[in-house]
């Protein structure tokens, strides 16, 4: 059996008013897993992500990365093996910097930034042109444009490319298509699926779209009241229907 790349052990998060958001949650993420995460609002999906990224401390339990306990590791250090795409297109990119500058910045994710020149060479620009072309939304024509003037879809596509520019040990997709119109959303989902498969990425994707959750990924989990109430993979997942899933959505 392969070793888990990421594990949550008895993860519990209790907020000061006494509410438990994550309740003794256990999750092992294996290399190559593309897990879709479902759950009602308040089920603990975002908390799960924040605990993994290190933005939220655990009240009890532990987080492990490749067998190492990283519960106390600060968020900024975890970026050397973690990448994240946010739901809000505004959060993922630096608006006054160009598309190329953003991509360049992403290449240094989690590593030291020195007083060396940033090296935005013509070769780099060619690489970025070919890379952005794969997203199919004309991003390649806007490499020298400040990201603040891109469309939401282009920004999210860029955020995704930035997050995967350096291959992360785990990619967190936080409803990254939710703010987009249906067509753009489908396009980005398809592109996401391609990239995750082609680059053998390990990813965790929150979604509210049951169809997406069933179509994409090899594994699906449903959260409810801070616990995983369904965890299925491969054939078992393929046999699920939207109606089956809805039965797990209870408050």
Partner 1 sequence: MSIIVSSISQGILWAVLGVALYLTFRILNFADMTVEGSFPLGASTAVSLIAHGVNPFLATLAALFVGAVAGFITGILYTKGKIPILLAGILVMTACLSINLRIMGSANISLLDQKTIFSVPFLSDLPKYFDGVVLGLIVISLILGFLIWFLQTELGQAFIATGDNPVMAAAFGIKTDRMTIMGLMVSNALIAFGGAVIAQNNGFADINMGIGIIVIALASIIIGEVVFGNLSLNQRLIAVVIGSIIYRLVLLAVLQLGFSTNDLNLISSIILAIAMMLPQVRKYLKLDKVLHLGGKTND
Interface with partner 1 (CB under 8 A): 53, 75-77, 79-80, 83-84, 86, 90-97, 101, 104-106, 108-111, 113-118, 144-146, 149, 162
CB of 216 to partner 1, least distance (A): 23
The C-alpha atoms of residue 228 and residue 223 are separated, in whole angstroms, by 5
The C-alpha atoms of residue 155 and residue 240 are separated, in whole angstroms, by 33
CB of 55 to partner 1, least distance (A): 9
How many CB atoms sit inside 10 A of residue 136's CB? 13
Choose between 43 and 205: whose C-beta lies nearer to partner 1: 205
Contacts (Cβ under 8 Å, ≥6 apart) of 200: 31, 32
The C-alpha atoms of residue 56 and residue 75 are separated, in whole angstroms, by 9
CB of 235 to partner 1, least distance (A): 35
Contacts (Cβ under 8 Å, ≥6 apart) of 88: 179
Token output for 118 = 């940033």
CB of 229 to partner 1, least distance (A): 29
CB of 81 to partner 1, least distance (A): 10
Choose between 8 and 162: whose C-beta lies nearer to partner 1: 162
CB of 109 to partner 1, least distance (A): 5
User: For tokens 């703010």, what's the residue?
Assistant: 179
Q: Are 86 and 92 in contact (CB under 8 A)?
A: yes
Choose between 146 and 232: whose C-beta lies nearer to partner 1: 146
Choose between 119 and 241: whose C-beta lies nearer to partner 1: 119
Cα 244 versus chain centre, distance: 25
Query: 222 exposed, middle or buried (CB, 10 Å; 0-12, 13-18, 19+)?
Result: buried
Token output for 62 = 């532990």
Choose between 55 and 64: whose C-beta lies nearer to partner 1: 55
Choose between 205 and 210: whose C-beta lies nearer to partner 1: 205
């Amino acid at each position: 059996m392969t070793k888990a790349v990421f594990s949550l052990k008895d993860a519990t998060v209790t907020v000061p008013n006494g509410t438990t958001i994550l309740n003794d949650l256990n999750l092992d993420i294996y290399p190559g897993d593309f897990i879709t995460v479902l759950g009602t609002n308040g089920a603990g999906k975002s908390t799960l992500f924040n605990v993994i990224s290190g933005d939220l401390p655990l009240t009890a339990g532990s987080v492990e990365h490749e067998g190492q306990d990283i519960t106390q590791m600060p968020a900024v250090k975890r970026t050397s093996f973690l990448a994240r795409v946010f739901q809000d297109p505004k959060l993922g990119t630096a608006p006054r910097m160009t598309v190329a500058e953003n991509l360049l910045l992403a290449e240094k994710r989690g590593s030291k930034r020195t007083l060396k020149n940033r090296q935005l060479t013509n070769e780099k620009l060619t690489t970025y042109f070919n890379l952005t072309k794969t997203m199919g939304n004309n991003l390649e024509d806007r490499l020298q444009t400040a990201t603040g003037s891109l469309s939401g879809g282009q920004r999210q596509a860029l955020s995704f490319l930035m997050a995967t520019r350096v291959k992360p040990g785990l990619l967190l997709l936080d409803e990254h298509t939710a703010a987009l119109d249906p067509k753009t959303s489908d396009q980005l989902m398809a592109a996401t699926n391609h990239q995750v498969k082609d680059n053998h990425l390990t990813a965790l994707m929150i979604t509210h779209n049951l169809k997406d959750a069933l179509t994409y990924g090899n594994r699906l989990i449903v959260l409810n009241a801070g616990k995983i109430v369904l965890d299925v993979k491969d054939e078992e997942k393929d046999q699920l229907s939207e109606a089956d899933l809805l039965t797990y959505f209870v408050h």
